[in-house]
Amino acid sequence: MNNPVWIIDDDKAIRWVLEKALGRSGIGFDSFSSADDALNALYDNTPRVIISDIRMPGTDGLKFLSKVKADHPQLPVIIMTAHSDLDSAVAAFQGGAFEYLPKPFDVDQAVQLIERALAESNSQIEATGGVEAMPVLLGQAPAMQDVFRAIGRLSQSHVTVLITGESGTGKERVAEALHRHSVRSSKPFIALNTAAIPKDLLESELFGHEKGAFTGALATRRGRFEEAEGGTLFLDEIGDMPTELQTRLLRVLSDGHFYRVGGHVPIKANVRVIAATHQNLEDRVKRGLFREDLFHRLNVIRLRLPPLRERREDIPLLTRHFLAKSASSLGVEPKRLTEAAMEVIKFHSFTGNVRELENLCQWITVMAPGQQVEVGDLPAELREPEAAAPATESDGSPVISSAVHVVDWTLGLAEEVARRLRAGEVGIIDDLTRRFEESCIRTGLAHTGGRKVEAAHLLGWGRNTLTRKIQELGMEGHDEHADHV
């Protein structure tokens, strides 16, 4: 979710009217039914303009404005207000609102106001070198310093970049930094997780579609390539892209133009593509799951992000940053860790990398009883001895040992679903189900020494079902020892 305009209103009808108006004007948007949802989303993305109602359940528009201006003073915020709220409108201006929009409003007037705010936002970004929404990248470890140097070297380049690294290492953050430091910084940065979009919708999501192109295509729709015109398109989890769409992407990168679904007029693509994956693409190429020619098109410059276990010296710095960030969002004082507690955190395995550390800091901010956090205040899974860092498959995924302490995994699942919902992702169940089944299969085969019949029985499947699942998930290359019965 990284559209330039955010709409915040608990009234579904108001959101619908603004969505339709912005859609007709070709302006990208994301909608929220509460200010609290929008504040959560601000952790991951920063829009160019926000238009918010003033009276909503939970955090109201004026409190929301105050919080946004504290962290993003240059971000234009338009406050919508009823006639009886004119005193509040004055307060909104005093709080730094860009403009107020009285209800009921003229739709064309609203769009003109939003366009003026976008122009103001763009001019401020240009004046500051495009760093207003600069993502936080922290690290003193040599591996991270190499990443920072690479970002600097690539600042004047349009070259395609492939970012690799385990889940949670911050690949989208690096992609945002590459964009913000590039000559395209005043243009859009559009992110798309290709693994989160259902296969039959991904083509339209990327390239758009013409009216009547398929059932339900009631209007022409721009795709992500058009939304990113002049800027950067970030394609996350590129290794999961279906083969037929790999062909279309290759054609765009080769020819510099594309067609909307159902369209016959070529559209020029002036877009820098940055791709990312946690998978081993060379291995997927060998197994026929990823086009070799597309791999070479994407693999012009490769940036590898180190897992957190390779940069443990950065954990105290990151921990203090995330504790301060969590405290700021809740309006409380940051928690302080004792040296002993910091040592426990520093040597935790963090298989979820930086994302897991950030979630831990949120937990500490909410759950730790005092301002000073002792070892005993940390979650049980950190305080209990862990096994050595888990071994990994060739694609970087962990081989789970039964010796590793297991927490209530449903809590982690719920957090992941909530994060994806806040990010506006779709197809969540399909993606998580695929990852769940893949993890069960890997662990089951590891437990049985590769014996499929035994693994299938323990997992509750027949052998044929297990074999079919392995094929569907593209795991054939990972079960070369799984032919025993």
Q: Specify whether 373 is located in the same domain as 433.
A: no
Q: How far apart are the first and last CA of the chain?
A: 46
Q: What is the CATH number of the domain that holds 210?
A: 3.40.50.300
Residue 195 pLDDT class (50, 70, 90 cuts): confident
Mean pLDDT of 342-370: 91
Residue 418 pLDDT class (50, 70, 90 cuts): confident
The pLDDT assigned to 67 comes to 81
Q: Specify whether 179 is located in the same domain as 260.
A: yes
Residue 211 pLDDT class (50, 70, 90 cuts): confident
Q: Does the pLDDT value for residue 124 go beyond 90?
A: no
**Coil, helix or strand for 27?**
coil
Question: What pLDDT, in 10s, does the model give residues 431-471?
Answer: 888 888 888 888 888 788 788 888 888 888 888 888 888 88
Q: What is the CATH number of the domain that holds 357?
A: 1.10.8.60
Mean pLDDT of 16-39: 88
The torsion region of residue 401 among left (phi > 0), alpha (psi -120 to 50) and beta comes to beta
Nearest 5°: phi and psi at 22?
-70, -40
Mean pLDDT of 378-392: 64
Q: Does the pLDDT value for residue 404 go beyond 80?
A: no
Nearest 5°: phi and psi at 271?
-140, 135
Q: Does the pLDDT value for residue 356 go beyond 90?
A: yes
Q: Specify whether 196 is located in the same domain as 294.
A: yes
Integer Rg of the chain from CA: 24
User: Domain containing 99: what range?
Assistant: 5-126
Tokens read off for 77: 């915020």
Mean pLDDT of 58-81: 82
The pLDDT assigned to 484 comes to 45
Residue 390 lies in a domain: no
The pLDDT assigned to 408 comes to 47
Residue 458 lies in a domain: yes
Q: Specify whether 344 is located in the same domain as 224.
A: no
In angstroms, what CA-CA distances link 381 with 168, 307, 435? 19, 20, 23
In angstroms, what CA-CA distances link 121 with 18, 66, 98, 345? 19, 18, 10, 40
Percent of the chain with pLDDT over 70: 85
Q: Does residue 172 contact residue 276 with C-beta atoms inside 8 Å?
A: yes
Residue 138 lies in a domain: no
Q: Does the pLDDT value for residue 85 go beyond 80?
A: no
Q: Specify whether 297 is located in the same domain as 326.
A: no
Residue 253 pLDDT class (50, 70, 90 cuts): very high
Residue 141 lies in a domain: no
At which of 304, 329, 351 does a domain end? 304
The pLDDT assigned to 295 comes to 94
**Coil, helix or strand for 160?**
coil
Mean pLDDT of 256-276: 91
Among 355, 298, 366, 382, smallest CA distance to 331 is for: 366
Q: Specify whether 270 is located in the same domain as 317.
A: no
Q: Specify whether 348 is located in the same domain as 261.
A: no
Residue 160 pLDDT class (50, 70, 90 cuts): very high
Residue 478 pLDDT class (50, 70, 90 cuts): very low
Per the structure, how many domains does the chain have? Answer: 4
Residue 132 lies in a domain: no
Q: Does the pLDDT value for residue 345 go beyond 80?
A: yes
Q: Specify whether 292 is located in the same domain as 256.
A: yes
Q: Which of 20-34, 86-100, 389-403 is predicted with the least confidence, judged by mean pLDDT? A: 389-403
Residue 274 pLDDT class (50, 70, 90 cuts): very high
Tokens read off for 59: 């955090």
Give the residue with greater pLDDT, 60 vs 246: 246
Q: Which of 214-223, 240-249, 315-324, 410-419 is predicted with the least confidence, judged by mean pLDDT? A: 410-419
Residue 199 lies in a domain: yes
At which of 383, 406, 427 does a domain end? 383
Q: Specify whether 164 is located in the same domain as 268.
A: yes
At which of 357, 383, 409 does a domain end? 383
Q: Specify whether 319 is located in the same domain as 296.
A: no
The pLDDT assigned to 407 comes to 39
Among 186, 53, 27, 188, smallest CA distance to 115 is for: 27
Residue 485 pLDDT class (50, 70, 90 cuts): very low
Distance CA 192, CA 173 (A): 13
CA angle, 356 then 163 then 26, to 5°: 95
Distance CA 476, CA 458 (A): 20
Residue 2 pLDDT class (50, 70, 90 cuts): low
Dihedral sign for Cα atoms in the order 123, 124, 128, 134: negative
What integer best gives the mean pLDDT of the chain? 82
The strand order across the sheet containing 77-82 reads 29-32, 5-8, 49-53, 77-82, 99-103
Alpha-helical (H) ranges within 272-384 are: 281-286, 292-298, 315-330, 339-346, 353-367, 380-383
Q: What is the CATH number of the domain that holds 89?
A: 3.40.50.2300
Q: Specify whether 186 is located in the same domain as 280.
A: yes
Tokens read off for 23: 């859609």
Distance CA 448, CA 440 (A): 12
Residue 400 lies in a domain: no
The pLDDT assigned to 448 comes to 81
Residue 395 pLDDT class (50, 70, 90 cuts): very low
Q: Strands 232-236 and 189-193: what pairing?
A: parallel
Maximum mean pLDDT: which of 33-42, 216-225, 362-371, 402-411 = 362-371
Question: What pLDDT, in 10s, does the model give residues 87-112?
Answer: 555 555 556 778 878 888 888 888 98
Residue 331 pLDDT class (50, 70, 90 cuts): confident
Q: Specify whether 285 is located in the same domain as 334.
A: no
Residue 363 lies in a domain: yes
